[in-house]
């Protein structure tokens, strides 16, 4: 399997090369040159445990890590999860919930970032050198990335997050990690500012090469690949149904794009339900063909407070028939004017997508209703997914809603809805009085680059 850029300037990369490059050097995103169709072998997954499913699925995309060593990386990545199923499927009322929050930071990002951290360490041990990971987070990515690489040899990590725009516990999960190789950068701006800085830093190719930068955001293909696996796990836990639907709370489009890839591989997902909060750029695109940046609205579901979805370009690449020129033209128009449009009658867009946007009031109401009716607690992001999932489901096949975080991570929101309930988790409780460390910087590309440079070479 080889990897190419969505913008056509990079091709022929191995999996390990793609992991280390992160963002493609031409400014695009790396994707497999082909998506394997495994529909004829889906029955072979029956009865397999999560790590065995992961070995099967990942092997289609990774041919430069020996099979036994890949298996060891996968085993190590999921040994820290607190449920033997890794991503257990629960029946909640008349729908199913796939719990993706059983990793060390209680968020779905752990599924990908525990794997990615181990892959980075494996590649560096094989090739030598050092790696400076730079990432941006609106909530859970940062803590999961830090948990994936803290204390690892020859790796430093720099995580940007918007000052005052993540939950207190989300920030503490990052800033209480005091390992020497971990640096938290609190940016005076929005998550989109953080993401713009991230892309600008990686697009400075001399700086990227000089400082050996790597990416853990969902621009890194290894993250998407790790997320593809749990769609197959849901299918196995459902008992290999002939068809099912999936509702996914979505900000950066990575989680639902993994489902899109799983479907292209032959998984019988008949409907991908994209759920967003009032930051509804993706909902507006799928209902109008107009991809337009708007003002960021801060909400009870902060991981989705995003107006530029970084994985959307990968989806466009496949929907444009793998035409990198069309992708480049679309993204250039968007970068210049903040808007790009595709007339729906010019493309055969995948009809399986259904979308919806949820207000804060609807989010709170859904948390309350699910607890009242089903005695089950959901965090605000999962509530968004359930709300839109119920509105857009066909009703003819099982509906799986992705639960992306443990509700205890959002104690203020949960207390507002369910003030009489003790919603906690021992991992989070231990953070409350722990010492913290962060650096506050303005939302300026050069300032962030100087910080990275000075940390690595404080003399010059």
109, 172, 208, 409: the active-site residue:
109
Tokens at 158, concatenated:
């720099």
- Is 450 a residue of the active site? no
- Judge whether 165 and 191 are in contact, CB under 8 Å: yes
Q: What is d(CA 188, CA 405) in angstroms, rounded to the nearest whole number?
A: 25
Q: Which active-site residues does the annotation give? A: 109
């Amino acid at each position: 399997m080889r990897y190419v850029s969505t913008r056509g300037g990079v091709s022929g990369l191995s999996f390990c090369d793609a992991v280390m490059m992160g963002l493609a050097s031409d400014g695009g995103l790396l994707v497999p040159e082909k998506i394997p169709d495994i529909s004829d072998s889906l029955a072979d997954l029956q009865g397999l445990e999560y790590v065995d499913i992961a070995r099967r699925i990942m092997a289609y995309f990774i041919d430069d890590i020996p099979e036994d060593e890949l298996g060891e990386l996968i085993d190590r990545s999921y040994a820290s999860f607190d449920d033997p199923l890794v991503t257990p499927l629960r029946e909640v009322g008349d729908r199913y919930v796939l719990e993706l929050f059983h990793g060390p930071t209680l968020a779905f990002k752990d599924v990908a970032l525990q794997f990615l951290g181990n892959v980075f360490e494996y590649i560096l041990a094989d090739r030598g050198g050092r790696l400076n990971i730079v990432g941006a987070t609106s909530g859970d990515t940062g803590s999961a990335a830090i948990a994936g690489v803290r204390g690892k040899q020859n790796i430093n990590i720099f995580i940007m997050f918007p000052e005052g725009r993540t939950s207190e516990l989300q920030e503490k999960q990052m800033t209480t990690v005091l390992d020497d190789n971990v640096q938290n950068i609190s940016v005076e701006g929005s998550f989109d500012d953080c993401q713009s800085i991230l892309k600008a830093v990686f697009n400075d190719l001399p700086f990227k090469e000089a400082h050996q930068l790597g990416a853990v955001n969902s621009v890194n293909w290894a993250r998407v690949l790790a997320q593809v696996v749990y769609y197959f796990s849901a299918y196995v836990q459902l008992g290999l149904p002939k068809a099912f639907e999936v509702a996914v709370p979505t900000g950066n489009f990575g989680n639902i794009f993994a489902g899109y890839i799983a479907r292209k591989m032959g998984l019988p997902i008949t409907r991908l339900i994209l759920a967003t909060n009032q930051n509804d750029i993706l909902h507006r695109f799928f209902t109008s063909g107009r991809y337009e940046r708007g003002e960021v609205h801060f909400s009870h579901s902060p991981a989705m407070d995003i107006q530029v979805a970084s994985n959307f370009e990968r989806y466009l690449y496949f929907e444009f028939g793998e035409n990198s020129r069309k992708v480049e033209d679309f993204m250039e128009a968007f970068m210049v004017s903040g808007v790009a449009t595709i007339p729906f009658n010019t493309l055969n867009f995948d009809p399986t997508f259904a979308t919806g946007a949820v207000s804060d009031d609807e989010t709170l109401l859904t948390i309350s209703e699910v607890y009242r009716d089903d005695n089950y607690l959901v965090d605000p992001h999962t509530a968004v997914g359930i709300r839109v999932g119920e509105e857009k489901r066909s009703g003819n096949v099982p509906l799986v809603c992705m639960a992306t975080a443990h509700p205890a991570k959002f104690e203020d929101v949960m207390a507002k809805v369910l003030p009489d309930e003790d919603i906690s988790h021992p991992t989070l409780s231990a953070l409350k009085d722990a010492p913290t460390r962060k650096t506050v910087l303005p939302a300026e590309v050069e300032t962030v680059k100087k910080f990275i440079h000075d940390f690595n070479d404080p003399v010059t």
